[in-house]
Amino acid sequence: MTTETTSIPTATAKIPAPATPYQEDIARYWNNEARPVNLRLGDVDGLYHHHYGIGAVDHAALGDPAHSEYEKKVVAELHRLESAQAEFLMDHLGPVGPGDTLVDAGCGRGGSMVMAHRRFGCRVEGVTLSTGQADFGNGRARELRIDDHVRSRVCNMLDTPFDKGSVTASWNNESTMYVDLHDLFGEHSRFLKVGGRYVTITGCWNPRYGQPSKWVSQINAHFECNIHSRREYLRAMADNRLVPHTIVDLTPDTLPYWELRATSSLVTGIEEAFIESYRDGSFQYVLIAADRV
């Protein structure tokens, strides 16, 4: 039961100043974002994601491209693959019970937070730089009557209000490319319980390729982000008491999503960079799950 006193009025109530001019740019970017490829997919079932998909495309479900309903089916299929990606991340959070707290660092519009609460029955705390995103996520939580468990706030994920050792598991879903990894993992390590779990799904450049390819540079420019190398993730985790437990190369699993998206009416222009960099091996889509030791 939610009352005036326990509900979260808006994420704008006490907005901390962004720590850097770069963070101001990122907050502005996400406050202004309203791409149909994200909103129309979210409208399918009310889970709004800002990450990409994994898994095989169900061509039987899509049917004949000449059919009048085909485009609608493509939207539903892309959304299904994005939700499958979030479920896969949550498969790696370890045991989580209703009394636990999870942290979604860089939570976007909050689709993953709703999924995590439905799956585990626990509290889910999200942080984003964007007031618009936090208000959107809190609005969805209120509509779903889960605002007593699911809360987004405007907050720098490198400097959160969560108490030391208070969090059972935490994640970054496609949000690590906006921050210094040592600062980020230091903060997760601080608020995670010893024995807790950290998971990220991210795009990283592949040290085996040598240096960031032109496609990786294009993705950075498109999103105003700074993609790290796979090596940097492992080094920064090791330096912050996060010991990798599972590493999965999801590159072959995300390519079908991109190939389908490239044929849809919702293309944004970045599809070629993802497809070419995944194919030439310069860029990888990975899950890393680590134990906080």
Ligand X SMILES: CC(C)=CCC/C(C)=C/COP(=O)(O)OP(=O)(O)O
Ligand Y SMILES: C[S@@+](CC[C@H](N)C(=O)[O-])C[C@H]1O[C@@H](n2cnc3c(N)ncnc32)[C@H](O)[C@@H]1O
> Which stretches of the chain bind ligand X, using CB under 6 A?
35, 37-38, 50-51, 174, 177, 203, 219, 223, 225, 227, 268, 270
Residue nearest to ligand X (CB): 203
Q: Which residues contact 67 (CB under 8 A, 6 or more apart)?
A: none
3-state secondary structure 122-181: CEEEEEECCHHHHHHHHHHHHHCCCCCCEEEEECCCCCCCCCCCCEEEEEEECCHHHCCH
Shortest Å, Cβ 35 to Mg ion? 7
Selected from 30, 38, 54, 256, the binder of Mg ion by CB under 5 A is: 38
Give which of ligand Y, Mg ion, ligand X, none residue 192 binds (C-beta under 5 to 8 Å, depending on kind). Answer: none
Q: Which is nearer to ligand X, 19 or 262 (CB)?
A: 262
Question: Is residue 156 near ligand Y by the rule CB under 6 A?
Answer: yes
Give which of ligand X, Mg ion, ligand Y, none residue 268 binds (C-beta under 5 to 8 Å, depending on kind). Answer: ligand X
Question: Is residue 51 near ligand Y by the rule CB under 6 A?
Answer: yes
* CA–CA distance, 76 with 89 (Å, rounded to integer): 20
Residue burial 80-116, b: 16+ Cβ < 10 Å; e: rest = bbbbbbbebbbebbbebeeebbbbbbbbbbbbbbbbb
Selected from 107, 167, 169, 181, the binder of ligand Y by CB under 6 A is: 107
Q: Which is nearer to ligand X, 121 or 248 (CB)?
A: 248
Shortest Å, Cβ 70 to ligand Y? 26
